[in-house]
C-alpha cells in the first residue's frame, strides 16, 4: 500500500518517528548491511518480537551425494521476544519457520 511505501521510505531516510511505529507487533533489524555477523536486538516498546539478520557469508558445506564441499551462504539470525506475549516454544517454532523459508527462498 501507499502508507507502507511511505513508512519504508521514511525509515530508510532515518526520519521515522516512534509514533509512526505504533501499532506494530514485530520489527526486523538487518544489521548485516553493516557487515555485522550477529547482534542482540531489543524489541521496541509495545512490540513483541524483533528479528535480527546478520551478514551473509560463504562457507563450505559438505554435499553427501557429490562427496565434496560446495559453497553455501549462511547468516546468523536472532529473535528477541517479550515472554509476556510469547513463550520460548512459540518463539522457537517461529524462528525455525523463518529459517525454513529462507533456506527454500525460491519457494517464497
Q: Which three cell numbers stand for residue 93?
A: 517454532
**What is the pTM for the complete model shown?**
0.74
Q: Which of 83, 88, 104, 105 is catalytic?
A: 83
Summarize the confidence of residues 32-49 as an average pLDDT.
Answer: 90
The total number of structural domains that make up the chain: 1
* Inside any domain, residue 91: yes
Burial degree of 16 (CB within 10 A; 0-12, 13-18, 19+)? middle
Share the mean pLDDT of the chain. 89
**Cβ-based neighbour number of residue 25 at 10 Å:** 13
* Inside any domain, residue 2: no
Q: What pLDDT, on the 0 to 100 scale, is given for residue 107?
A: 62
* Whether residue 54 has pLDDT greater than 90: yes
* Inside any domain, residue 16: no
Over the Cα atoms of the chain, what is R_g?
17
Give the CATH number, domain containing residue 46: 3.30.559.10
Q: Is 83 a catalytic residue?
A: yes
Range of the domain at 36: 25-107
Amino acid at each position: 500500500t501507499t502508507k507502507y511505501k511511505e513508512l519504508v521510505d521514511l525509515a530508510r531516510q532515518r526520519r521515522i518517528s516512534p509514533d509512526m511505529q505504533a501499532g506494530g507487533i514485530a520489527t526486523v533489524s538487518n544489521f548485516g548491511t553493516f557487515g555485522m555477523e550477529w547482534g542482540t536486538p531489543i524489541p521496541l516498546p509495545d512490540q513483541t518480537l524483533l528479528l535480527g539478520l546478520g551478514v551473509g557469508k560463504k562457507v563450505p558445506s559438505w554435499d553427501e551425494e557429490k562427496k565434496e564441499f560446495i559453497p553455501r551462504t549462511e547468516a546468523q539470525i536472532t529473535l528477541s521476544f517479550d515472554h509476556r506475549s510469547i513463550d520460548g516454544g512459540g518463539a522457537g517454532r517461529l524462528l525455525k519457520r523463518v529459517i525454513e523459508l529462507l533456506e527454500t527462498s525460491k519457494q517464497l
